[in-house]
Amino acid sequence: MKKLKGLTIKEASKLLEAKEISAKELVADYISRAKKLNKNLNSFLTFAENEAIDQAERIDKLRRDNQKLSPLAGIPFAAKDIFSTKGIKTTAGSKVLESYIPVYDATVVGKLFEAGACIVGKTNQDAWAHGSSGENSDFRPTKNPYDTSRVPGGSSSGSAVATAADQVIFATGTDTGGSIRLPAAFCNVVGLKPTYGRVSRYGIIAMASSLDSIGHFTKTVFDNALVLNTTAGLDEMDATTSPLKIDNYTDEIRKSPSGLKVGLPKEYFEGLNKEIKQNITKALNVLERQGVIIENVSLPHTKYGVATYYIIQPSEVSSNLARYDGIRFGYDRDNFGAEAKRRIILGTYTLSSGYYDAYYLKAMKIRRLIRQDFIKAFKKVDVIITPTSASLPFKFEEKTDDPLTMYLSDIYTTNINLAGIPSLNVPCGFIDNLPTGMQIIGPDFSEKLLYRVGHSYEQESRWFERRPNL
């Protein structure tokens, strides 16, 4: 049998198409490895072995009949446990939904199934997607595969770890304030937060509805583009999805970035960890050799981002979680964890009479200014590059006693969600054997451009080839 470990979507798809391996063989191998590694990493909450094998057998039959198939056909993937999956337990990482089994699939899950992807299972996460570390799961914390004494980032912790540890070939995630990009940076994988409305939110257990973006994790930039080709698009079940034409995101991915202007916002480099800054500088040097033009830009309202985010987001959280009263879904609200209670209380207070104008309305005005900062900058440059995280993956319990310090983990990511624009995390080196990432940010619906820049850097740097020793 061909070597199956460490495959990208592109590599696995070629093997399947050439009939050198079967989808059933591939999926069975990944399920076996996922279960074995899960004992240490805690990346999965639920496995879907029967569903995955049934789908793989169906794909093998279609291939024997010489049917034209998607590049994702037969590819093992995982879904963050906040994605509704028909007949498969979906908990959102919370004991409130400990026994909840949906009767329908989220739109993204349905599209992946239609493309022939095979679901290995549902991945661990901070409960209700509330967290930056993966420590707020009501079940057990996910561990970073590069150092299991450290966090993998959150809230899409399990999906990032499952992709990095090769338990699956790709995984879905959600990003409300950095919940794809931060774990992608901490786990040395590619993670996309698309433009708000580019991918349907239907069937996602809502956190903060005006901020939630639906993306995914892959080993390479090319793979990431392949997945977006399937998941993007208008959905009649989600009124916030855009009717704009979907690009073929792999079309120009190999095109040189020469001549593109890359903006560096000074606000994102002030007080930055010296070694992380060095890794970003090295990455920029690679892009300069490839012909990009580096320019300084300013995003003056950056400093208000985290405060603004942590007014708007808890306000929407308090509204979305009000439905979990034990009548319609799961157990009652006594099962909420500490972080969920904290956000509900903060959001309810912010929206209460006498405080709405002082806090929520003011935050919405600042949100508009933050978006305008980006719009102005993109008149000068094509993309913006910043660090994804201001710190390396930190030790478990290092920040749990100080919520404010934990919230500052998202200092470089929240403004992108407030602005609604896309951002791509690409691995950019290691410090003391711990991964670092840079984010490539673009204007609305510029995912194709982000992939072009990210792919060009990735193919020279090759950081995706450095895998955890498990």
Give the closest residue to 79 by CA, choosing from 116, 106, 115: 106
Domain range summary for the chain, segments of one domain joined by +: 9-465
Mark whether 391 is an active-site residue. no
Over residues 298-306, the mean pLDDT reads: 97
**CA-CA distance, 409 to 411, in Å (whole number)?**
6
Supply the mean pLDDT for the chain. 95
Find tokens 């698309």 and name the residue.
194
Q: What are phi and psi of 429, to 5 degrees?
A: 120, 180
pLDDT of res. 422: 98
Residue 115 bridge partners (DSSP): none
Q: Using an 8 Å Cβ cutoff, are 432 and 225 in contact? A: no
Contacts of 416 (CB under 8 A, 6+ apart): 178, 193, 422, 423, 439, 441
Helices and strands (H and E) in the chain: how many: 14, 11
Residue 392 bridge partners (DSSP): none
| Options 22, 43, 70, 179, the catalytic residue | 179
CA distances from 368 to 29, 119, 363, 464 (A): 48, 39, 9, 36
pLDDT of res. 352: 86
Angle (CA) 343-346-351 rounded to 5° is 120
Count of beta carbons in the 10 Å neighbourhood of residue 405: 12
For the stretch 346-396, pLDDT in tens is: 898 898 888 888 899 999 999 999 999 999 999 999 999 999 999 999 999
Over residues 81-101, the mean pLDDT reads: 96
| Options 13, 84, 94, 155, the catalytic residue | 155
Over residues 256-281, the mean pLDDT reads: 96
Model confidence at 278: pLDDT above 60: yes
pLDDT of res. 2: 59
Mark whether 155 is an active-site residue. yes
| Options 22, 70, 80, 143, the catalytic residue | 80
pLDDT of res. 323: 84
Mark whether 395 is an active-site residue. no
Count of beta carbons in the 10 Å neighbourhood of residue 125: 34
Torsion from C-alpha of 40, 45, 50, 51, nearest 10 degrees: -130
- At 290 the three-state DSSP class reads coil
For the stretch 165-188, pLDDT in tens is: 999 999 999 999 999 999 999 999
Q: Is the dihedral of CA 439, 440, 441, 446 positive or negative?
A: negative
For the stretch 239-256, pLDDT in tens is: 999 999 999 999 999 999
Q: Select from 3.90.78.10, 3.40.1280.10, 3.40.50.450, 3.90.1300.10 the CATH code of 9-465.
A: 3.90.1300.10
**CA-CA distance, 193 to 174, in Å (whole number)?**
8
For the stretch 310-347, pLDDT in tens is: 999 999 999 999 888 776 667 777 889 999 889 989 89
- For the chain, give the number of residues: 470
